[in-house]
Amino acid sequence: MREHTILRVIAKTLAPPILLFGLYVQFHGEYSPGGGFQAGVIVSAAIILYALVFGLAEARRVVPPFILRWLAAAGLLLFAGTGIATMLLGHDFLDYDALAQHPKHGQHIGIIVVELGVGLTVTAVVTGFFFVFAGRGRRRDGD
């Protein structure tokens, strides 16, 4: 891909706005359509675009697989931890009313935290799937 200068410049130019849009969808999801799953797929799309243009080895260098494992675990812990926290506060699993004195504020906090957990997990899993399937049949050091 080194000879495709225009493609490389366009990919480098598009990746940051794609990531920014993913963050917008993530944190605006409780007010409009969108949220964690959609944001996770959008962020993964930016990483996959980078991998398609610059190569799998370079993408793995920028986003190492251990980071993906850490993000998947962190997202799951955020989601499950929110539910466990509501149970420890005497409510049902994921009953966000328990997270603040006013139920409306608790709902807001709970949705943001849970959607963030979903977004992190989806980003990590989708990107990880791409890395695994794109790397099939290739040597580890020579993508």
Quote the CA–CA distance of 107 and 123 in Å, as a whole number.
24
Quote the CA–CA distance of 61 and 136 in Å, as a whole number.
17
Q: How many residues does the chain have?
A: 143
Is residue 143 scored above 50 in pLDDT? Answer: no
Average pLDDT for the chain: 90
pLDDT at 30: 65
Distances (CA, A) of 116 to 23, 50, 52: 10, 23, 26
101: left (phi over 0), alpha (psi -120 to 50) or beta: alpha
pLDDT digits (tens, 9 = 90+) for 1-33: 567 899 999 999 999 999 999 999 998 866 666
Burial of residue 100, with CB atoms counted within 10 A of its CB: 0-12 exposed, 13-18 middle, 19 or more buried = middle
pLDDT digits (tens, 9 = 90+) for 103-129: 888 888 888 899 999 999 999 999 999
Q: Compute the average pLDDT of residues 34-45.
A: 92
Is residue 89 scored above 60 in pLDDT? Answer: yes
pLDDT at 81: 95
